[in-house]
């Protein structure tokens, strides 16, 4: 495997070390969020691949006190981050039926306490060896208070003994949870008590530790059962000056934040929210972050790419963010990646269509079919209408002559254009909002759909990779990995040159197919989610195959608000799961055409699936569906769905020669 492809091989935070000081790029939105301004807890949201774990790791002790950092200020001691991703397999044993109602709750709290103590011990080791600007800080020899020693059953007298104690207690807990009748119940500890006391003891030991506090990050919070989430919510509801508990979970996966009492966690009052998915949805900010990530991964592999404005050391500290947000820096960095992952414009691709014999032949057949439909084949011929000098108009003409309305005006306008008599401000092809603006992309997708084995160049290019991946940096990295593997397979070169359009397009299709096959692994309803993706893809693909392209680039849907009450429980479950796992995105509806058709949300199929179905990744047009139709798509039989598919496409059925490829 080539060095270049290996640069993007590891695209999950779990594959990286705990110290991400040279991996985490301070995101463009960093100055707009506040995570340690007070002791209030934070809820970090985001779908798969949005970087929740990497984001958290940036704030944790392994990165804060990394041996790679020099002259660390003592202010870092005021927020010592502790990371915990609960072992869901082990936690699932702590049930009422197995341990008893109260014991199961206390056992989970004890488990969290021991895990966070292990993290705290490792954090103190890192602090003791860190290059602190004010000089070394010996914390391991510090004695703990009698009150804390009592909590530790008099088995710990100094901080340095904490590690062995925690290891022993974790082993005891493991044996008891798995064999509750054969082993004595452990003495349960509470993290809400023990960690603040440990911080207090350390704060009294040195003036430099006066402001010491712990910040515990509980990752994958949604994987905990309700009673376990209550334990965490209790600590959020009642924060301590020296301990704040933060949680991270998939967007929409947790909606009830109940404590063990009748109280609930309330946003704004008890915690703040950081929605990474929403923050990464900004086109300009995602493109900048993706470009920097692309160059950083190459840099870390020793690959040269000739971009003087790019300085890896300026990616890791928020004080350098102002430099990175300048228009000059963005132009140079994003521009360089665009050069390495180049794209063809829609105009360029229209030229390619007329240079590519099979695509050109498909366009001519499309025009001839439309002419035949209107009885105009005696007056016009597709071969004489298609004009290499007017590629965009030629491509769009294919749709215009296939529409139900009389195409004479379009044909006359095209002939004037060919004779260089058209093209003025009022020309219907090229005026703003004219035929080309509204139909070119849709027509190009339609032409490529008829040749599914051909690389669709509409998916090639850095900007389009960003459109397919946003807001998932993981998807972007996978697109880059496969692209470079195809382009530089078996190459050991240490520089990079622009990647071909075809290899980028191939990579987009390969990644799209792989992500589709991965859907069954998503949660408890993965197979149902994949069937939903298959059915929505089939609908959008069928609409894309309509020669008229009267509604081009349909790739999302909304549900008539007046009809939403008709959604079945099964359909609602699938929608919830699809949103949680980022298979569908729920976005505000901004394009209602009619006042009486009020749909509050648009449901957008994750754009990473677009290449698999040969459809557009641009959010242009949608279907507004009745609840009964959504129920059919999400939860009814294949026969019922096929009947609905015909109903949706019936106004202009896809060409019969293409129908077999829909299923």
Average pLDDT over residues 491-501: 82
Quote the crossing angle between the two packed helices 408-418 and 391-400, to the nearest 10°. 170
* Strand stretches in 137-184, DSSP E: none
484 three-class SS: helix
Q: Which residues make Cβ contacts (< 8 Å) with residue 206, sequence separation at least 6?
A: 137, 139, 142
* Secondary structure of residue 151 in the 3-state scheme: helix
pLDDT, mean of residues 452-472: 95
Residue 232 has pLDDT above 80, yes or no: yes
Average pLDDT of the chain, as a whole number: 90
| Tokens standing for residue 128 | 């003791």
Q: What is the 3-state secondary structure (H, E, C) of 176-223?
A: HHHCCCCCCCCCCCCHHHHHHHHHHHHHHHCHHHCCCCEEEEECCHHH
**Sheet (strand 214-218) strand order:** 80-84, 214-218, 243-249, 41-45, 271-275
Cβ neighbours for 326, distance < 8 A, ≥ 6 positions apart: none
- In which band, very low, low, confident or very high, does the pLDDT at 657 lie, cut at 50, 70 and 90? very low
Copy the structure tokens of residue 234.
């209790």
**Mind spelling out the 3-state secondary structure of 533-588?**
HHHHHHHHHHHHCCCCCCCCCEEEEEECHHHHHHCCHHHHHHHHHHHHCCCEEEEE
Q: For residue 599, what pLDDT band results from cuts at 50, 70 and 90?
A: very low
On the question of pLDDT at 45 being above 80, the answer is yes
Q: Looking at residue 12, what is its pLDDT? A: 65
Q: Which residues have CB under 8 Å from 433's CB, separation 6+?
A: none
Q: Which of 64-73, 604-613, 649-658 has the lowest mean pLDDT?
A: 649-658
pLDDT at 4 over 70: no
Average pLDDT for 336-346? 96
Which one, of 482, 438, 437, lies nearest residue 459 by Cα?
Answer: 482
DSSP secondary structure of 373-429: HTT-TTT--HHHH--TTSHHHHHHHHHHTTSSS-THHHHHHHHHHHTT---STT-TT
Over 90: is that where the pLDDT of 338 sits? Answer: yes
Helix then strand then coil, % of the chain, to nearest 5: 55, 10, 35
Give the count of beta carbons closer than 10 Å to the beta carbon of residue 302. 10
**pLDDT band per the 50, 70, 90 thresholds, residue 658:** very low
Note the pLDDT of residue 595: 40
Beta bridge partners of 275: 45
Angle at CA of residue 520, ends 450 and 462, nearest 5°: 50
Confidence of residue 76 (pLDDT cuts 50, 70, 90): very high
Phi/psi of residue 226, each to 5°?
-55, -50
Contact of 131 with 70, CB cutoff 8 Å: yes
Tell the residue number behind the tokens 């080309």, with chain if given. 436
Average pLDDT over residues 409-415: 91
CA distances from 454 to 348, 353, 356, 358, 570 (A): 17, 12, 11, 10, 38
CA distances from 29 to 282, 313, 399, 453 (A): 10, 18, 42, 40
pLDDT tens by residue, 175-196: 999 999 999 999 999 999 999 9
> What pLDDT is stored for residue 426 in this prediction?
72
The pLDDT, as a whole number, for residue 36 is: 67
In angstroms, the CA 82 to CA 116 distance is: 7
Mean pLDDT of 214-221: 95
DSSP of 98-123? HH-HHHHHHHHHHHHHHHHHHHHHHH
Which among 450, 611, 459, 622 has a CA at the least distance from the CA of 551?
A: 622
Contact between 34 and 236 under an 8 Å Cβ cutoff? The reply is no
Both tokens of residue 99?
A: 């341990």
Categorize the per-residue pLDDT at 254 as very low, low, confident or very high, splitting at 50, 70 and 90.
confident
Are the beta carbons of 541 and 647 closer than 8 angstroms?
no
Q: Tokens at residue 20, please?
A: 């991400």
């Amino acid at each position: 495997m080539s060095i270049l492809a290996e640069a993007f091989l590891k695209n999950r935070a779990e594959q990286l070390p705990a110290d991400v000081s040279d991996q985490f790029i301070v995101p463009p939105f960093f100055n707009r969020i506040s995570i340690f301004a007070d002791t209030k807890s934070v809820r970090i949201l985001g779908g798969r691949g949005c970087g929740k774990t990497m984001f958290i790791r940036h704030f944790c002790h392994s990165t804060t006190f990394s041996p790679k950092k020099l002259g660390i200020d003592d202010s870092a001691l005021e927020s010592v981050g502790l990371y915990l991703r609960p072992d869901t397999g082990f936690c699932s044993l702590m049930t009422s039926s197995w341990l008893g109602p109260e014991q199961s709750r206390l056992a989970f709290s004890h488990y969290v306490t021991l895990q966070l103590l292990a993290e705290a011990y490792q954090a103190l080791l890192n602090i003791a060896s860190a290059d602190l600007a004010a000089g070394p800080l010996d914390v391991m020899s510090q004695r703990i208070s009698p009150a804390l020693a009592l909590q530790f059953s008099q088995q710990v007298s100094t901080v340095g003994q904490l590690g062995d104690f925690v290891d022993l207690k974790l082993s005891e807990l493991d044996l008891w949870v798995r064999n509750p009748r054969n082993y004595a119940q452990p003495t349960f500890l509470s993290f809400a008590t023990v960690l603040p006391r440990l911080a207090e003891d350390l704060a009294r030991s040195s003036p430099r530790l006066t402001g010491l506090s712990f910040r515990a990050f509980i990752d994958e919070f949604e994987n905990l059962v309700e009673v376990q989430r209550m334990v965490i919510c209790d600590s959020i509801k009642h924060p301590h000056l020296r301990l704040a508990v933060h949680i991270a979970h998939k967007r929409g996966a947790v909606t009830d934040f109940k404590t063990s009492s009748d109280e609930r966690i309330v946003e704004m009052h008890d915690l703040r929210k950081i929605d990474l998915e929403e923050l990464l949805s900004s086109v300009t900010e995602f493109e900048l972050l993706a470009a920097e990530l692309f160059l950083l991964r190459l840099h870390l592999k020793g690959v040269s790419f000739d971009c003087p404005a790019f300085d890896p050391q300026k990616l890791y500290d928020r004080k350098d963010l102002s430099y990175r947000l300048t228009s000059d820096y963005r132009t140079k960095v994003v521009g360089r990646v665009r050069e390495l992952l180049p794209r063809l414009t829609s105009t360029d691709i229209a030229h390619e269509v007329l240079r590519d014999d099979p695509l050109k032949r498909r366009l001519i057949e499309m025009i001839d079919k439309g002419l035949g439909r209107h009885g105009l084949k005696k007056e016009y011929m597709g071969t004489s209408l298609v004009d290499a000098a007017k590629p965009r108009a030629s491509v769009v003409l294919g749709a215009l002559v296939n529409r139900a309305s009389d195409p004479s005006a379009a044909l006359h306008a095209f002939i004037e254009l060919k004779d260089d008599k058209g093209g003025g401000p009022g020309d219907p092809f090229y005026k703003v909002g004219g035929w080309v603006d509204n139909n070119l992309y849709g027509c190009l997708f339609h032409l490529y759909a008829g040749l599914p084995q051909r690389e669709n160049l509409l998916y090639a290019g850095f900007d389009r990779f960003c459109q397919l991946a946003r807001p998932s940096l993981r998807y972007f990295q996978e697109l880059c990995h496969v692209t470079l593997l195809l382009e530089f397979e078996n190459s050991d070169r240490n520089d990079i040159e622009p990647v071909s359009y075809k290899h980028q397009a191939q990579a987009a299709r390969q990644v799209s197919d792989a992500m589709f096959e991965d859907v069954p692994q998503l949660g408890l309803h993965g197979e149902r989610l994949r069937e939903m993706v298959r059915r929505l893809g089939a609908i959008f693909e069928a609409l894309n195959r309509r020669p008229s392209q009267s509604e081009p680039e349909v790739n999302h849907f909304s549900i008539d608000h007046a009809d939403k009450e008709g959604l079945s429980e099964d359909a609602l479950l699938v929608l919830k799961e699809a949103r949680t796992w980022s298979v569908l995105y729920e976005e505000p509806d901004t394009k209602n055409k009619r006042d009486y058709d009020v749909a509050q949300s648009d449901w957008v199929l994750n754009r990473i699936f677009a290449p698999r179905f040969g459809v557009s990744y641009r959010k242009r047009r949608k279907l507004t569906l009745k609840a009964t139709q959504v129920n059919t798509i999400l939860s009814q039989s294949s026969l019922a769905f096929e009947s609905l598919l015909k109903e949706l496409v019936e106004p202009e059925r896809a060409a019969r020669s293409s129908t077999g490829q829909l299923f």
